[in-house]
Structure 1
Amino acid sequence: MENLRLSNLKTILPYNLLAERLVLSSILTIPETILVVSEKLPIEAFYLETHQIIYKALLILYAEGKTIDYINLITWIQDHGFLLKIGGSHVILELLNQIYKINNLDEYLSLIYEKYLRRLLIKLGEEIIELGYLTNIPLETIFTKIEQSYFHLAENKSTKHLISVKQGLQQIAKEIEQGLKIPHLSGLKTTFIELDVITQGFQNSDLIIIAGRPSMGKTAFAFNLAKNIAQYHNTSVVFFSLEMTKQQLLYRLLASEVEITSTRLRAARIKETEWFEIHKIINKLSSLKLFIDDTPELSVNDIKLKVKSINFESVKKISLVVIDYLQLLEEVDQTINRVQELSKITRALKKLARDLNIPIIVLSQLSRNVESRVNKKPILADLRESGCINFFFGDSVINKMKNSIIYCWTGRFFSKQKLFDIKFTGQKPIYRLSTNLGWSIFLTSDHKILTEKGWKKLNKVILNDLISIKLLFYANSLTHFNKSFITWDKVIKIRYQELAAVYDLRISSYSNYLVNRIIVHNSIEQDADIVIMLYRDDYYNKENSEKNIIELIVAKHRNGPIGSTKLIFDPRFLRFFDT
């Protein structure tokens, strides 16, 4: 009997017939309500096909600027051969005679949308059952697909991002007014004064990259940030450590607070007076809403699932995510090489920051270019891992190109730069871009070139787009040119060429260079809103009188100024202080 009841339920999907009729009736009688309805309901939200056809017709009439009334609606439906499908013209007349209250419209929309989500949930359940039987697909792939489908369903994106200019400006006015009454930073305060002045705090939806060479203190600094923000704002922060264990991080945290080295703590070489202080500090730190996850192999989707799970179980939602570090993150798609993978991961992290509407901090290693320079201070060009250029030369010619000179565009003039290395990064699909003046270049689809409207990936470039071309320049020194001749050449053809070898060019100062006169980009920092680079001069220069000073170089700030500030670094307890 129970099985029969479940079988009957499966054939009747959730929907609200009366609410669907009342909403369509409201549009027919008061056409202005379509503005509200179209913001909140997709066509699929209506269960009955008849109602979907009518709603689609109403949306098209509105989009075409036609009057929404009985005559125009019937005409459109009849002209498109749907009159018999909806059951005849009397169905529309019945909608016109439907009695409803306009002030209840939001309730009716909620009823329809709730049933729509339930139908999607049922569909997802059926897909999960089917996936469970597909033993030829790895479980990791199945779980990822389920997670993506679930979060797409849960996020309710159809109404989340749409606001009018009026609503947006009113909200901004309230924020400014509140700021006048109580001055405060617009983002999460790090408690490091000069850094907060430059960044104005870490903003929601921002992707912040903290980069440095090994031994610069990236993990210690990021963990200090996580602890400071959780403590100062009394908010929830999650720290994903792909390299260190949670036990190691917790020993560091306790050592820095009680001012006893983690070596002594681990060995339990503690005095009785220190023991009471440790208990006191542990009770204090236990109130922090700081979560640590030390799963060694994580993808961006794994991180998203874990954050959503914490948000579901906690009263206070996560306000900041910290990931240590980028190069240890994994991507589910194993068919792409590591270069493509890292680029895909940074884009996914930026999207995740927007979806969760919180800042995400991710640590990153810098390239070895730093070590080969006299000046070891890092620059944006060191944050590279692209590899999208194809050269039709032999290995011997490519090897000879190393340590040669290449031209870069500074934004005002060309500059000669040393080509430190050409690194083979695998086989990728290559496309040939041809211009009106006869120039051509071979690139992967996601490599960026300089167009008249700024940097564009090749897959976003269309025919007749204008791209930058170097024609001629006159030298007045060995390194710079005071007259630069840049012209814009029209793209006339983009064609798939072949699967071919691609290379990553490593240059000293700039993240672009010229290939066959065309200016192309060579950087992975494009997805970041803020890039902070860590530099300790005493690590490289032992004679430096300024010991234990770490410089924070804000090398990129999409919505504010760049600059640098210095902090005092305590190597014994791995703490940072304002100078």
Structure 2
Amino acid sequence: MTTQTDKPKEDGLLGLTLRQPPANIEAEQALLGALLTNNRAYDRVSDFLAGEHFANRVNGQLYAAIARRVENGQLADPVTMRAELENSGMLDSVGGMAYLAKLLTSMVGIINAGDYGRAIHDAWIRRQLIDIGETVVNNAFGATGDLSGPDQIEAGEEALFRLATEKGKDGDFVAFNKALTGALNVAALAFQSAGHVTGLTSGLRDLDKKTGGLHPSDLLILAGRPAMGKTALATKIAFSAARAIMDEAEEKGGKPNGSVAIFSLEMSAEQLATRILSEQAEVSGERIRRGDIGQKEFDRFVRVSHELARLPLLIDDTPAISLSAMRTRCRRLKRTQGLSLIVVDYLQLMRPSVGTRPESRVLEISMITQGLKAIAKELEVPVIALSQLSRQVESREDKRPMLSDLRESGSIEQDADAVMFVYRDEYYLQQRMPKETAYDSMDKYSVAMDEWQRKMGLVHNKAELILEKQRHGPTGTINLFFEGEYTRFADLDNIHEQ
């Protein structure tokens, strides 16, 4: 042990490099002695401790060898392990089999095995923090010239996040009576709420009926081909959620305790705001861009914009944002304003975390979807991620999407708690409008045109939201109203058609 007087006098980084990395060799030896004396001690540490957590390489190898035997239902003691240890030469550098005798004398009692294990694990975490810190410092000095300052921040945060999530935690069973209490509370909340919605509302009645709203920790994929209205539908859901948060705050006479974050990788914040304004003010977005609106419409446009400005809705239009940057911004938002929903438009335009180099595009998308699910769980908010569909949809007669159409990675389907497809038959039918030149007589052309118009009447202003997968409830098709002029989705009321 060094005293205050014999500590190195160097300042700054040089002083740090002269320190010994944290380790607790005595705890390592005491734990190994306890394991060799009574294998039941392994149950106290197996949930969180691994061989690589040991500071002494030989101790780590010995722990791994003991763990293998115990998990295979075999006895692990100096007698049963003698042949394996002698043949492998594992103990040669520490004195051979005599080292086992030293470990046995180091053992205090198996009742303390859990404390020994936690001391070893804590020292390992601190060594990892030192490694991360050294990497951050070296990169800042220019060791990695291809990383900019902001990229280095993201890389450091990503390394810390991986350490925080992968360090291993004490696991244990949850008593069934506690699980039942939690389930009963959720059921009571649904019973007491209007519309029996326990999660955040999507603003769409029939979708909320099937899902119970948007639930914390869920990753929802909203997919479709271009021009189907993915962004418009996601924007509708985000706006409705933000308005519900604001309405609840006003009822209680306070400030909103949550917010909705939209990461728009394809459209600018101004374009997205124009879409929302167009929908709410019922002024065509195309006419807004051309300036083809009257004074009355412009006044309505301004009035609605003032109302919308109060909503807790935030837009980040950083192109090709990385997963680590998104996580950092969402954490900051949750800490400062509260966070209730994240919308990502769309995931194929994202980059994986800085510092990672996926071998293929499929692996890259897999890392992104797993990362989005991790963000949903860590921040306890629903995440809606938009996704493109492959072109194979266009080659089928029935162009309604299926799970196999999800582009570039099957892991999108695996990681998602719900997968929804937006589909508009009107879009495809419009492209099949009969052409006069394709018919040899006007009568045949008229018959074809009448049939086409009849079919168009059936699907005009209608869309389908196909709930193809849902972990927590039923699947099925939800019929929606779609108004192309304002790119607006709403509930479809079929009562008057019956």
Using the size of structure 1 for normalisation, the TM-score is 0.59
Q: Does 1:379 align with 2:401?
A: yes
CA distance in 2, matches of 1:374, 1:5: 70
- Distance in 1, Cα, partners of 2:130 & 2:10: 17
1:7 and 1:201, CA in 2 relative to 1: closer, same or farther beyond 3 A?
same
Change (3 A) 1:381 1:311: closer
Counterpart residue number, 1:92: 103
Where does 1:308-387 land on structure 2 (aligned, <5 Å)? 308-312=328-332, 314-315=334-335, 320-329=341-350, 341=361, 343-358=362-377, 359-366=382-389, 377-380=399-402, 383=405
Q: Which has the higher helix share?
A: 2
2:240 pairs with one of 208, 228, 252: 228
Shifted more, 538-547 versus 43-52: the winner is 538-547
Q: Which runs of 5+ in 1 are unaligned?
A: 387-445, 449-522
Structure 1 residue 13 displacement after superposition: 0.5
Structure 1 residue 294: deviation in Å?
A: 0.7
Shift of 1:222: 0.7
Q: Does 1:304 align with 2:324?
A: yes
Task: Find the aligned partners of 2:236 and 2:48 in 1 and give their Cα distance.
Answer: 42
1:565 aligns with 2:484: no
Checking the alignment, whether the CA contact within 8 Å between 2:348 and 2:365 is kept in structure 1 is: no
**CA 23–259 in structure 1, closer or farther in 2 if over 3 Å, else same:** farther
- Post-superposition offset of 1:111: 4.0
Aligned pair count reads: 428
Which one has a larger percent strand, Structure 1 or Structure 2?
1
For residue 245 of structure 1, the aligned residue among 268, 274, 281 is 268
The one-letter code sitting in structure 2 at the alignment partner of 1:195 is L
| 1:241–1:292 contact (8 Å) kept in structure 2 | yes
Structure 1 residue 176 and structure 2 residue 183: aligned?
A: yes
Deviation at 1:153, TM superposition (A): 1.8
SS in 1 for 2:46: helix
Deviations 1:152-194 (A, max 9, x none): 223235338xx56x53866653443334433366765524232
> Structure 1 pair 258/149, CA: closer, same or farther in 2 (3 Å)?
same
Matching residue's letter, 2:202 = T
| Equivalent in the alignment of 2:422 | 534
Counterpart of 2:366 in 1: which secondary structure?
Answer: helix
Return the offset for 1:553.
Answer: 1.9
- Whole-Å Cα distance in 1 between the matches of residues 480 and 115 of structure 2? 55
Instruction: Report deviation, 1:10.
Output: 2.1
Identity value in percent:
30
Q: Which position in structure 1 is the counterpart of 2:5?
A: none
Q: Deviations over 1:324-360 (max 9, x none)?
A: 22453457999999xx63x334322332244334454
Q: 1:15 to 1:227 in 2, by over 3 A?
A: farther
- Deviation, 1:119, is 1.0
Q: Structure 1 79/154 Cα, relative in aligned 2: closer, same or farther at 3 Å?
A: same
TM-score (norm 2): 0.67
How far did 1:219 drift? 0.7
Give matches, 1:518-557, under 5 Å: 530-539=418-427, 540-541=429-430, 543-544=456-457, 547-557=460-470
Q: Measure the CA separation in 1 of the matches of 2:86 and 2:391.
A: 69
Equivalent residue, structure 2, for 1:123:
131
CA distance in 1, matches of 2:420, 2:306: 36
In structure 1, distance between residues paired with 2:147 and 2:329: 23
Q: Secondary structure at the match of 1:177?
A: helix
Map of 1:35 onto structure 2: 43
Q: Secondary structure at the match of 1:59?
A: helix
Whether the aligned pair in 2 keeps the contact of 1:538 and 1:544 (CA below 8 Å) is no
Say whether 1:151 aligns with 2:64.
Answer: no
Aligned-partner Cα distance in 1 for 2:77–2:106: 12
- CA distance in 2: counterparts of 1:137 and 1:72, whole angstroms: 53
Alpha-carbon RMSD: 4.7
For residue 216 of structure 1, report the CA deviation from its aligned partner.
2.7
